[in-house]
Amino acid sequence: MGWSWVPSVDETVHRVLPGDEFEGTLPALMFGHFTKADETHRYSFNANKGKKYRAEVRSKADGFLLDSKLTITDPKSGKTLASNDDVSSGGYDAGVDFTAAEDGPIDVAISEMLGEFGPRHFYQLSIRESKPECQLSIAEDHFVVTQAKPLELSVSVNRKSGFQSKIRVAATDLPEGIQAEPVVSEPKGDTAKTIKLKVTASDNAIGHGRFRILGTILDADDQPTKETIQATYNLRPSVPLTEFWLTVPPVPAKEASP
């Protein structure tokens, strides 16, 4: 027996455990496990014509072994609407957006790319209506800044399902004497996927403390909305931190002249 970190689940999501029947209610989260070679697990739901949906797998991201592939099919016509085996470069979890051509059933099939199986070939499959969304993340959770050397802090911007809004990214709750100018992530160009916050320390700044990074979605007039995004650091798979640590060391004492 073993254990692993898995993400928390929103209480509004319909959960389907292994062996339970999926009744087609969305949003849904299916839990599955491949116990035989070359298995394929299938789930069906009734879609609405013209509506966009998203199916997404989590396995590798949570430390499991499934190299997943998703195939979306219209069972009436037999036509494949979409398929995917890697949602991003360097990632091995599948995820795909698709649009229903007609009212009626849609089949979502998940398989193992290599036909493998075993106790750690576990997955979670989410199916939901597709809506533009965005995530902010950083690669570390603790930083050092000095008066002599400002800190350049990179924040990754992961835009999904056609998210096109501008985001004003700012470091908040900074220790006394620390400043960082907000930076806007544009939907296209150099800042679409990564922005850099320049963190500086005043002459009297010293010590350490927690801080956060907050993204505020801007409207069409570049005015802030009430929609915000917390930047995260993944301490473990599915264990995100939203508070980070900043240290300002004391300025080295100058040696006395002889």
Looking at per-residue pLDDT, the higher value among 11 and 7 belongs to 11
| Average pLDDT of span 116-122 | 92
Q: Which residue has the tokens 């008066």?
A: 147
Q: How many domains does the chain have?
A: 2
| CA–CA distances in Å: residue 185 to residues 156, 200, 250 | 10, 20, 33
- Does residue 203 share a domain with residue 121? no
Give pLDDT tens digits for 211-252: 999 999 999 999 999 999 999 998 876 688 999 999 999 877
What is the extent of the structural domain holding 111? 14-130
Looking at per-residue pLDDT, the higher value among 243 and 1 belongs to 243
Q: Which of 130, 164, 190 is the last residue of a domain?
A: 130
- Does residue 139 share a domain with residue 92? no
- Does residue 114 share a domain with residue 180? no
- Does residue 117 share a domain with residue 24? yes
Confidence of residue 2 (pLDDT cuts 50, 70, 90): very low
- Does residue 123 share a domain with residue 30? yes
Q: Which of 85, 108, 130 is the last residue of a domain?
A: 130
- Does residue 142 share a domain with residue 240? yes
CA nearest 11: which of 24, 23, 29? 29
Q: Would you say residue 229 lies in a domain?
A: yes
Q: Which of 66, 96, 130 is the last residue of a domain?
A: 130
- Does residue 170 share a domain with residue 79? no
Q: Would you say residue 7 lies in a domain?
A: no
- Does residue 28 share a domain with residue 123? yes
Q: Residue 64 is encoded by which pair of tokens?
A: 């499991």
Confidence of residue 1 (pLDDT cuts 50, 70, 90): very low
Looking at per-residue pLDDT, the higher value among 88 and 35 belongs to 35
Q: Would you say residue 100 lies in a domain?
A: yes
- Does residue 122 share a domain with residue 40? yes
204: CATH: 2.60.40.2550
CB neighbour list of residue 40: distance below 8 Å, 6 or more residues apart: 109, 110, 111
pLDDT at 196: 98
- Does residue 184 share a domain with residue 146? yes
Percent of the chain with pLDDT over 90: 76
CB neighbour list of residue 258: distance below 8 Å, 6 or more residues apart: none
| Average pLDDT of span 171-182 | 95
